[in-house]
Amino acid sequence: MAEHLVQAEGLACSRDGVAILEDINLTIDGGEIVALIGPNGCGKTTLLETICGTLPAAAGKVSLLERPIGSYGAAERARQIGFVPQREEQVFEFTVRETAAMGRLPYASGLYETDDDWQAVDEALDITDLTRLRNNAVTRISGGELQRVLIARAQAQQPKLLILDEPTASLDMPHYQSLSKLLRTLAGQGTGIIAASHDINWAMSIATTVVCLGEDFFWQGPPAEAKPALERAFGVKLEPAILSSGQTALFLTD
C-alpha cells in the first residue's frame, strides 16, 4: 500500500487554549491539489499550521511520509514543506532574488549560496514569472508581486508538500491563471499541494480534492460532489452553471 504524503488522524486543533477543530481525518498524496474551503473563522489557517507542525496538535496526530510531524527538526521539516502565508510585511530592502534565496536556508550548514542554491532560486523565479523583477527591492513591488515572491521562496525549498494560505490574495486576473498553471505543473511533478481560499470557483477549478470546513463540520471529497458540503458550511444555496470551458461554477441564489 502506497504511503500518504500527509495523514491526519483524530486531529484536534486549538489556538491560545481555545478549541478550534476536532476529530479531523485527512489525507494528502503526492501530486494531489487539495482546496481548503470554509467561512471566516472556521479554522483553515489553524489547520494549515497544525499540518505543517508550527502549531502543535491538541489531540490526535499528523504524519508526514509516515513519520509524526513532531519528529522532524525545523530544517528537516522545511526541506519537506513549503509554506506561503496569507500576508507577510517586508521591512528590509532585500531584492526579489535574495528573498527567494531564503528558501534555501534549510539546506545550509554554513553559507548557502552554492551553484545548486542559485539554480533552484532562479528556477523558482522563472516558474513564478519574477525573473524580470529579480533585482527589485521587495519593499517596492506590488502586493500581487510580493505574493508571487513568497511562492517563489517556498518553491526554492523544493518541498514535497506546498501549503498556501489564500494564495490569490492581491493577484490580478492574469496571475490567477499563472498560479493555476504553476500549481498544476508542480502537482504533475509529484508535489502535494493544499491551498486555503475564499475564492470557491478558483479553488474548485484547480482541485483534485476539496476539504470543506464549517462549524462542527468536516468533509473531504471530489469537487464534483462538493456542492452540498459547501452549502452546509456557508449556510447558503448555490446554483451550478456550466462554463464554456466545460467547468462547473457555483453561484449564490436569491
User: Which pLDDT value is given to residue 172?
Assistant: 81
What's the half-sphere exposure (Cβ side, CA atoms, 13 Å) at 12?
A: 8
Which stretches of the chain drop beneath a pLDDT of 70? 1-2, 110-112, 254
**pLDDT for residue 111:** 63
In the prediction, which pLDDT does 86 show?
Answer: 84
3-state secondary structure of 240: strand
How confident is the model at residue 1, as a pLDDT?
42
Could you please report the per-residue DSSP string of 16-80? TTEEEEEEEEEEE-TT-EEEEE--TTSSHHHHHHHHTTSS--SEEEEEETTEEGGGS-HHHHHHH
The cell numbers describing 93, all together, are: 530592502
* Residue spans per domain, the chain: 6-252
pLDDT of residue 11: 96
Closest by CA position to 154, among listed 89, 64, 98, 81: 81
CA separation (Å) from 46 to 15, 36, 42, 78, 99? 7, 12, 9, 18, 25
pLDDT at 78: 95
Contact between 65 and 5 under an 8 Å Cβ cutoff? The reply is yes
State whether residue 86 is helix, strand or coil.
coil
CB 239 within 8 A of CB 245: no
Separation CA 99–CA 213 (nearest Å): 33
The pTM score is 0.92
- Return the CATH architecture of domain 6-252: 3-Layer(aba) Sandwich (3.40)
Q: Are 163 and 48 in contact (CB under 8 A)?
A: yes
Q: Which residues pair with 21 in a beta bridge?
A: 13
